[in-house]
Amino acid sequence: MSVDGTENRVVSGMRPTGALHLGHYHGVLTNWLRLQQEYECFFFIADWHALTSNYESPGELHTAVPQMVIDWLAVGIDPGSTRLFVQSRVPEHAELALLLGMMTPLSWLERVPSYKDMLEQPEGPALANYGFLGYPLLQTADIIIYKAKHVPIGEDQRAHVELARELVRRFNDLYGREPDFEEQARACVERLEQARLYMELRTAWQEQGKTDALQQAQLLVKAQRNISSTDRQRLLGYLQGNHRMLFPEPEALLTETPRIPGLDGRKMSKSYGNTILLRDTADAVQEKLCKMPTDPARVRRSDPGEPEKCPVWGLHKVYSDAEVRQWVQEGCRAASIGCLDCKRKVVDRVQETLTPIRQRRAELEEDVDVVWKILNEGAEAVREIASDTMQEVRRAMGLQY
């Protein structure tokens, strides 16, 4: 349930750590493309997050940032409907992260799996800088500063959103308190047209634990048009406790994504060097795919093979229709097709996916100023929201002079 009618808002970020590849395309970007049709989306480049581990090579950011945005735009992320910006251009994120740090128990950060995993790596402890420990705190600020409800992420980020939810509960509990909360809340209820219904639903939730009553009451509050955001926070808070809901709890949006095998059959990933990049030329794509290893049993064209033992088959599972897949299975096992014939079908599909992306990339490369303009406009627009939130936060934390 959102606090300020931000039910429809999606926020997600990506670290600018290099050229995007087909794994990102099928895993993250197609999902973003879908979301931008339905939701108000804010997508940003998490340059501060990149520095938590790449602080020794900050120079890479200057090209990595626009290049990543070019990848986004080339696949069809629409700056007309979606806000795109660079995290560090909205310094309010940092202020919020600092303030959240005041109320965050150190142990909450120390038990985050990504932090614990890092410490267990051989070179891990050398990376144990303060920024890395605070990584999920900054991520929480990124999300809640916009009061976003949905956070599309991969499985590896689940613990971070879980922490964000805990921090929101703690924040609301600590700073949503008002000495006269009960009276204030009751006064708000009286001003509601459906005051009786609200109280009945509240009782049904508080005394009988009926979650549908809670949800119905939350919807009722959300549907109110002529009330201040403070009153809305009181009405939502009064349903569940004795404090205002300053921030809504964000929710992870985990989507099933196909596993894209890389050129060696392992997961496609920069660290394995097995990627096909969105910015690869048509020739490079062709060459990479043609050089892919196949089932080692097929030494000669006449040797039968087994698709399950071949990384090319993994790509057919993503790119080919049932008919082609059957052709591969039968032809490979009977040695009636050659590996190059088999690969050519994948090459065609991959080129079909990448050709339009490559064309739009080339146009954007010609005019990088446009990319910066989009990022500037995005930052300006979201900064208004972020700064409103910070006003509220400062007031709630006693920083109003």
SS (H, E, C) 183-221: HHHHHHHHHCCCHHHHHHHHHHHHHHCCHHHHHHHHHHH
The 10 Å CB-count burial string (b at 16+, else e) for 286-317 is bebbeebebbeebeeeeeebebeebbbbbbbe
- Is residue 11 within 8 Å of 42, Cβ to Cβ? yes
Question: Binding ligand TRP by CB under 6 A: which of 139, 218, 320, 389?
Answer: 139
Select from 357, 286, 345 the least CA-distant residue to 320.
Answer: 345
Tell me if 244 contacts ligand SF4 by CB under 6 A: no
CB of 46 to ligand TRP, least distance (A): 4
Tell me if 315 contacts ligand SF4 by CB under 6 A: no
Residue 125: DSSP 8-state: G
Q: Which is nearer to ligand SF4, 258 or 304 (CB)?
A: 304
Tell me if 337 contacts ligand SF4 by CB under 6 A: yes
Tell me if 153 contacts ligand TRP by CB under 6 A: yes
Question: Binding ligand SF4 by CB under 6 A: which of 68, 239, 312, 354?
Answer: 312
CA 296 – CA 310 distance, rounded (Å): 8
Tell me if 328 contacts ligand SF4 by CB under 6 A: yes
Burial of 321 (0-12, 13-18, 19+ CB in 10 A): exposed
Q: Which is nearer to ligand SF4, 128 or 297 (CB)?
A: 297
Q: Which is nearer to ligand SF4, 4 or 295 (CB)?
A: 295
Number of residues that bind ligand SF4 (CB under 6 A): 14
CA 251 centroid distance within chain: 11
CB of 29 to ligand TRP, least distance (A): 13
User: Of ligand TRP, ligand SF4, none, which one sits near residue 49, judging by CB under 5 to 8 A according to partner kind?
Assistant: ligand TRP
Phi, psi of 41 (to 5 degrees): -110, 135
Q: Which is nearer to ligand TRP, 43 or 238 (CB)?
A: 43
**Coil/strand/helix, residue 153:** strand
Residue type, 27: G
User: Of ligand TRP, ligand SF4, none, which one sits near residue 143, judging by CB under 5 to 8 A according to partner kind?
Assistant: ligand TRP
Tell me if 143 contacts ligand TRP by CB under 6 A: yes
DSSP string, 20-81: -BHHHIIIIIHHHHHHHHHSEEEEEE-HHHHHHHHTT-GGGHHHHHHHHHHHHHHHT--TTT
User: Of ligand TRP, ligand SF4, none, which one sits near residue 92, judging by CB under 5 to 8 A according to partner kind?
Assistant: none
Tell me if 79 contacts ligand SF4 by CB under 6 A: no
Which residue's Cβ lies closest to ligand TRP?
A: 13
Site residues, ligand TRP (CB under 6 A): 11-15, 46, 49, 139, 142-143, 151, 153, 157
| Residues of the shown chain interacting with ligand SF4 in the complex, contacts defined by CB under 6 A | 294-295, 298, 305, 307, 310, 312-313, 328, 332, 337, 339, 342-343
